[in-house]
Structure formats: structure tokens, C-alpha cells
Structure 1
Amino acid sequence: MGIQNLLRFLKPFIRPVHIKKYAGKRVGIDAYSWLHKGAYSCSMQLCLDISGDVANRYLSYFMHHINLLRHHQITPVVVFDGGKIPCKSATEHERQSRRKANLEMAKKKLKEGNAADAAEFFRKAIHVTPSMAYKLIQKLRSESIEFVVAPYEADAQLAYLSSREPDQGGIAAIITEDSDLIAYGCQAIVFKMDRYGYGEEIIMDRLFDTDSDELSFKDFDKELLTGMCVLAGCDFLPSIPGIGIKRAYSLVAKYKNLDRVLSVLKLEKRYKMPEHYCDSFRKAVAVFQHARVYDAVTRALTHLKPLDGEHLELLTGDLDLLGPELQRSVAAAIAEGKLNPITLQEFDYLPEVEACSGSASTPCFNSIPTDELKIPFEEDSCIMLLSQPTDEEDIELITRVTQLDPMYIKEAVALSKLVAPKECQRVQEIELSETSLVPDNNPFKRRKMEKSGPEKINFFVPESSQRSMQSNPVTPQAEKDKIQKKPKVKTEKKQSLRNEKNGILKFFQRLLQ
């Protein structure tokens, strides 16, 4: 991620810093860099899609660093990556292939019982998804922390905020792990910030004004610095074989003109320059200078820097390289965390607590079938609490109430306890076959029977009856025959039970109105 070996090369210009230096100021955060580091502690759970508190450790890691900034009176501005930019597709494909290979190796090592090696491969296979980002967005909203989802590259969005004044939503520094921010020419960047606030800082003005023993950027400007980074190889364009950051610096420092550097490389036989490299190089530089970003004031897309005539002519008919144009409403919805920037579908609305809960294993997008979000049938529902056989109409009514709102289940349970006789305190368990006491029109119960076979049904039995049952045990077949014979009940008791049942049905009918 970023320009290979760039930070090591610029080490003479990097100074240690504590984040409290920016107290009272606004500081931008590259969200995916912290999410990626936080995901290391739960990489196996995320890769294997295991839900739980452990799988959400990356949220705790992120919020610890946010709270550290707030402790030092710093206003954090969290910036998330958005959609994929076309010129980065080759790099994304290569990274995805590596992650897939690492995941396969991790599973293989885990199967072999080598947990240490498996953990290392899981960390290499981790990938921050929009679903993970959405959980963090919900948490940030709950704590009133400012954030924005970039239309495309978070680096470009951070560079845009860095170029703005504070009263226009600008930021004084950027916290990241990505050296691409140097190629964007950001003024102040903090790398490798630990949990205590210590990190490494590079200031662009200091870079251009200071000499070291072997390096000097006094004759550089931001365009030459960007060209040096592209020449060394970046996410938008791989380098020419044999050219790294040191050779790129030497060429740019010697000729001080990017076109001349390309001409020299084209003539030197030791470098095998691809046929269309010069054109691709200029376009990569244009992306670093003019990428599309989101402007919170106009609530629309704009360019990092206005397109000049040269780059406009270069990109004629191919402006999508800077990021495809988006409608104003779509761009605003993405920036506010309402749309998935990859699929452009709405994020599924979930309460903030559920969205950040370790028990929430439901995906975050509206593409989920609605059947998967329905409340599952509970075995202790009011259907199984009736001690007397019910008519088909009664069962249908109770089933409708149960499906409408689970809160009615508790009320039905409480009401059934009032209906049951006071001496019915103990429960006798009797095994019955599928055909006994199971309403034929109850699909939930029938489905359960098909899966598990015979089941234990709970009947309330008076204490006086239990003593006689112990002396004369009742077999399941005998109980089944006894039930099917339907012995006569005294008229008064039958009428009393019918009145009690009608009272329950009237209660549920009032709830349905």
C-alpha cells in the first residue's frame, strides 16, 4: 500500500511527534488504515465470518484512538474510502488474488493444527469491507464524531481537506499509514501513531527547505515530487523494471522536468519501457493532482485541483480515470454514509446499538431477502400453552398475533397462567407421536416434527392425579387412545372452560384491531 520504500528513503526528513501538538485543531484520519490495523486482532473471525464480540475488536481499537485524540482536545475528521477508481483496477485485482491465496493457506494451516502460521496468513488475508466501515459509521454517529465517505480514494479526499481553510472544513494534519499522501503533496502527515499518541511526522515545507547529507528537494515542487513517486511505482501505475525510489529521485533531481525524464528512459536500452508507459505516466500524475472528491459546502463532486488545459486535453474523453461523475444526490448520500459506495445500494437501517453489537451477524445491505430478517418462531409461544384442544379458527388467530409482534407472546403466556387451575403446578412429560395433539394447520410445529421426530409435550397435571399415575403408569399408546376417545365432561366444567377460551380469543381480537 503506497509508494514502496518511500518512507525509508525520506527518513532524514521525518521527525518524532506526539499528537498533542495538534491540540485545538482538526485532524483527518485515514479510516481504513486504522480499521486494517484493528482487524489484525480478530482476523480469523472476520475471514471465517464468525460473529461475536471478538469479531468486533477492530471497533474498540478504532474508538480508543479516537478517544485519545479527543482527550488532547483534537477534533477528529474520519475519512472512509469510497468506490473503486478505474485506474486502480489492476492493483485491486492483484491484491484480491493475494488475499485469496493467503486465506487458503490459513485454512490449510488451521486444519493441520498449526495455529501460529494460520494466524499469520489470516492477518495477510484480511480485507476491510463496506460492511465493517458501516458498523464504524454507526458508532461515530452515536458519539457525534465528524466523518465523510469519499466518492473514491480517501487519500484524495484527505488531500482536498488538507488544502482547505479551517473555516471551510479544512484539516491541519493527516494520520495514516499510507505513503501515497506524500505523492498528493499534503502539508502535514503523521505516520505510525501508536496507542499512546506517538508517531512520525513529515512536513512538506520542511522537506522542500531542508538539505540532508545525500538528499535535497530544494529544486523540487509538488509536481516533481508526485512524478518521482509515480516513477518509483504506485497503485495507479507499476514502475519500469529496474527503477525504484532511489533511481527515480536521481532522474528527477538531475533533469528537473518530467518530460525529459521520460525521454531519457525511452532512449536508454537498459530500461525496457512499455509501449504506452509515457501516456499512462501522465494520466497517473493527473489522478494525483485532479482526482474527483466531495465538497461538503456544495454537496457535490469537484476536482482536487481545477483541471488545467494540458491535463484536460490529455484526458479528453477519458475523465472517468479521475473517478466517474456522480449525481449530486448520490454523491451526498455516499458522503453521509447512507449508500454503499461499491454497490450504490442503501445501507440497511439498523439501530445503532444493533449495528455495533457483537451479536449482530446480519449483513448490512438491502440486498438481503426479507425472509432472512423475520423473527423466528419460538417454541414457547402461546400456541403450545393452551391446555385444551382448540378449533382451527382459534389457532389461526393466535398464530396471526404471534407473527405480528413478539411482545404479545409474553402477554399470552401470562394470560394462560391465569386460566390454568391453581393446583396445576407440576408438569408431566409424555412422549407422543406426530399425529397426537398436533394441529394439522400449524406449519411451524409440523416442520419441527419432520426434523426431530417424536417430541415431548408438556401437560399440566394436578397433584392428586399424579399420585394415581405413579401407581398406574400410563403408556404413550394408552394416553393416545384415551385422548382420541374424548371422554365426556360435565356440563358445568365444559361451559366454564369454553368461557375461559372465549376470553383469551377476545383478548387477541382486541390486539388485532
Structure 2
Amino acid sequence: MGVALRDIIKDYRQETDLEEMRGVVAVDAFNALYQFLSIIRQPDGTPLMDRDGRVTSHLSGLFFRNVNFLEKGVRPVYVFDGAPPELKSTTIEKRREVRDAAGEAWKEALARGDQEEAYKQARASAKIDAAMISSAKRLLALMGIPCVQAPSEGEAQAAFMAQRGDVGAAASQDYDALLFGAPHLVRNLTISGKRKMRGRTVTVRPETYDLQSVLDGLSITREGLVEIGILVGTDFNPGIRGVGAKTALKIVQKGMFAETISEKAPEFDPGPIRRFFLDPPVTEDYRLTWESPARDGIVEMLCEEYAFSEGRVESALERLGMKTGQKTLDAWF
């Protein structure tokens, strides 16, 4: 879900292209996997599956999207969520209920032959399980792409890595990375390109946000941005009823955050949420190195184990110079 900040930061959005994104980017892994699981489906909403009924939508998305990244000079590192904070327990339970309800609605739509509704509900029912996470990490390792295991929120870890200068930006669809202090946020990175939305084809381009430009433009501090998030609602609190991003901005600019909380939610303590955004659990225990893709291992995993089209996989690998033998990193970065 993330924080609903779009209305106040949209003017600071800069559209870009993959060709302009050369360099290292920390990708929120769960965010990307959910995107692949939601988008890569049959017209009736059925996800891609192998002959044994195992979902492969996430593997398809990871493989072909990362081939595109590497070809364009983008070096991704995937950051996986760790244990969710207790603050997030209510949100997690609500999301589970929403996905379960969507799963039932999908079955009902299929039964009555409503393919459009079935596809819509299927996308909302996407779930990530341990097997998907394991297979995703295995494929990334074969592709020579590093993974980082966050102790808690992946976006917080990505933001920390960007603050240290180890990556150029944090990539996620959510704006939370800005609250966690990411100097640069990239949205639409994993879904850029031609997409069908509401029956028409649109071009989705990556968009970037510079945190300092946002703060300067809104005349607030990062702490103020966190306060705006708390007022409109985050993954850790529901927000104040009737307060949207524009109203929250005015409240913070006037220095009335504490007064507003005291008046409208006197039993709510925003302290733990503020502290979590400003000083989240992160780790320095990671190593960012990119290796040449293991061609034979990739073909064995995707084609032999998961029944991917060998022609498509081979064609994608050729784009990385893998037709007649592996090349060094310098050859395709």
C-alpha cells in the first residue's frame, strides 16, 4: 500500500528511460515480485504455471526484466524483506483478508464466465510464498545478481544503501523509501514498457524523485515528511480520518502536527512510527558483486525444471553475449 503522497510530490517527478538509469539500483524485491505475479497472467487471471502446477510468473518477470536491465547497463541488487515489525501486524492481516476475498471473487467470476472481472480479482489475490522467494533468489544467483537480506523492511534497507552511496537509488512503487531517507527513489522500474491498462495500451516509463528537491519544494524536513505520512496513514497506522496529503502538508508546515494528533487521535502515540522511519533496523552485512550469468544453470532451471521455452530463454541470453560462451562483466555492463 505505502504512503499516499502522490498529490503533493507529483510536481517533483522526473520521467526517464532505462538507458538513462545506468548504474546500481536497489530493488525492493517483494514489491517487484508482487508486480510480476499481478501482471504476468492469462486473460482469465490464471498465473503462468509449469507442468506441475507451480506458479512461474515471478520467474518469468525476474528473468526477462533483468536481462533488459543488464543489457541497458542497469545493475540491480534485490533487497528482500526480513521479519515485519510488530507495528505492521494489523496491515498484514488486512492485506491477507483482502487477498483471500479477491481469490474467492476470482473463482466466482470464472464460474460465471466474466473474464474481465476474473482478471481484475486475480491480480488482487496475488500472494508470495516461501517457495517463490527461494526460487527467485536461486534464479538471481544464477544470473549473477546480488541479493541482500534485510533485517526488517526491504525499503528501509534499500534507502540505507542509497544513503551510503553503495547504490544510486532505491526502486519501489511505494513512496515509503523517501520517508526512510532514500536520496533518490525510482518508480515503475520493473514494469516500464508497453502495458495494457483498462483495455488500452499505454507506455509506462520509469520516474525518479529526488528527496532533497521534494523537501525543499515543500518547505519541510524529512521529519516533516514522516509526520505527513503518519497523518495520511502508513503501513504502521491508519492515519487521521479526513486528512489527505494536501491537508497534512499544511498541518506540518504550520507546525501543528502534535496539536492535530492530540485533538483528533488523543490515544495514539506517533513516536514509535516516527522512530521506525527515521532509524529503522538495517544491516551493513552485505556484499555487492555482479558475476557473469551461469548460462547452463539458467537453462537447466528455467527450461528443464520449469518448462520455459528454450528458444525464448536462449534468445534472451544471446542479448547478454551468452551464445557462444560467457563474457566478462565488462562486455555487457
Secondary structure of 1:236's counterpart equals coil
Distance 1:12 1:195, change over 3 A: closer
Deviations along 1:273-301, one digit per CA (max 9) or x if unpaired, are 2x421x2x11111111122122216x9xx
Distance 1:50 1:91, change over 3 A: farther
Q: CA deviation at 1:130?
A: 2.7
Secondary structure of 1:93's counterpart equals helix
Could you tell me which residue of structure 1 aligns to residue 184 of structure 2?
Answer: 188
Q: What does residue range 78-477 of structure 1 map to in structure 2 within 5 Å?
A: 78-165=78-165, 170-193=166-189, 194-196=191-193, 198-210=205-217, 217-218=218-219, 220-255=220-255, 260-267=256-263, 271=264, 273=265, 275-277=266-268, 279=269, 281-296=270-285, 353-354=300-301, 357-358=305-306
Output the CA distance in 2 between the equivalents of 1:22 and 1:289.
27
Answer yes or no: is the 8 Å Cα contact 2:251–2:257 preserved in 1. Answer: yes
Q: CA deviation at 1:177?
A: 0.6
Q: CA deviation at 1:52?
A: 5.2
TM-score, scaled to structure 1: 0.51
Output the CA distance in 1 between the equivalents of 2:27 and 2:216.
26
Is residue 17 of structure 2 the alignment partner of residue 10 of structure 1?
no
Output the CA distance in 2 between the equivalents of 1:114 and 1:242.
35
Superposition CA RMSD, Å: 2.7
Deviations along 1:356-406, one digit per CA (max 9) or x if unpaired, are 83269xxxxxxxxxxxxxxxxxxxxxxxxxxxxxxxxxxxxxxxxxxxxxx
Could you tell me which residue of structure 1 aligns to residue 36 of structure 2?
Answer: 38
Could you tell me which residue of structure 1 aligns to residue 313 of structure 2?
Answer: none
Q: CA deviation at 1:164?
A: 1.0
- How many equivalent residue pairs? 284
| % identical equivalent positions | 23
Distance 1:261 1:162, change over 3 A: same
Output the CA distance in 2 between the equivalents of 1:179 and 1:209.
17
Q: CA deviation at 1:107?
A: 1.0
Deviations along 1:323-377, one digit per CA (max 9) or x if unpaired, are xxxxxxxxxxxxxxxxxxxxxxxxxxxx9745883269xxxxxxxxxxxxxxxxx
Output the CA distance in 2 between the equivalents of 1:181 and 1:59.
25
Answer yes or no: is the 8 Å Cα contact 2:26–2:79 preserved in 1. Answer: yes
Could you tell me which residue of structure 2 aligns to residue 414 of structure 1?
Answer: none
Q: CA deviation at 1:224?
A: 1.2
Output the CA distance in 2 between the equivalents of 1:180 and 1:208.
14
Deviations along 1:282-321, one digit per CA (max 9) or x if unpaired, are 1111111122122216x9xxxxxxxxxxxxxxxxxxxxxx
Deviations along 1:9-64, one digit per CA (max 9) or x if unpaired, are 311111111233332x21111112221121122385459x8755893132122222
Could you tell me which residue of structure 1 aligns to residue 24 of structure 2?
Answer: 26
Secondary structure of 1:36's counterpart equals helix
Distance 1:294 1:248, change over 3 A: same
Could you tell me which residue of structure 2 aligns to residue 312 of structure 1?
Answer: none
Output the CA distance in 2 between the equivalents of 1:9 and 1:209.
13
Q: CA deviation at 1:253?
A: 0.6
Output the CA distance in 1 between the equivalents of 2:54 and 2:257.
51
Answer yes or no: is the 8 Å Cα contact 1:109–1:115 preserved in 2. Answer: yes
Answer yes or no: is the 8 Å Cα contact 2:46–2:122 preserved in 1. Answer: no
Q: CA deviation at 1:149?
A: 2.1
Could you tell me which residue of structure 1 aligns to residue 197 of structure 2?
Answer: none
Answer yes or no: is the 8 Å Cα contact 1:176–1:189 preserved in 2. Answer: yes
Determine which structure has greater relative contact order: mean sequence separation of CA pairs < 8 Å that are 6+ residues apart, divided by chain length: 2
Q: CA deviation at 1:186?
A: 1.0
Secondary structure of 1:250's counterpart equals helix
Output the CA distance in 2 between the equivalents of 1:181 and 1:246.
20
Answer yes or no: is the 8 Å Cα contact 2:98–2:125 preserved in 1. Answer: yes
Secondary structure of 2:55's counterpart equals helix
Output the CA distance in 1 between the equivalents of 2:281 and 2:222.
19
Deviations along 1:217-273, one digit per CA (max 9) or x if unpaired, are 23x111111111111100001112111211111100111xxxx52224424xxx4x2
In structure 1, the gaps of 5 or more residues are 211-216, 300-350, 361-513
Output the CA distance in 1 between the equivalents of 2:101 and 2:134.
26
Secondary structure of 1:294's counterpart equals coil
Output the CA distance in 1 between the equivalents of 2:11 and 2:20.
20
TM-score, scaled to structure 2: 0.77
Output the CA distance in 1 between the equivalents of 2:74 and 2:28.
15
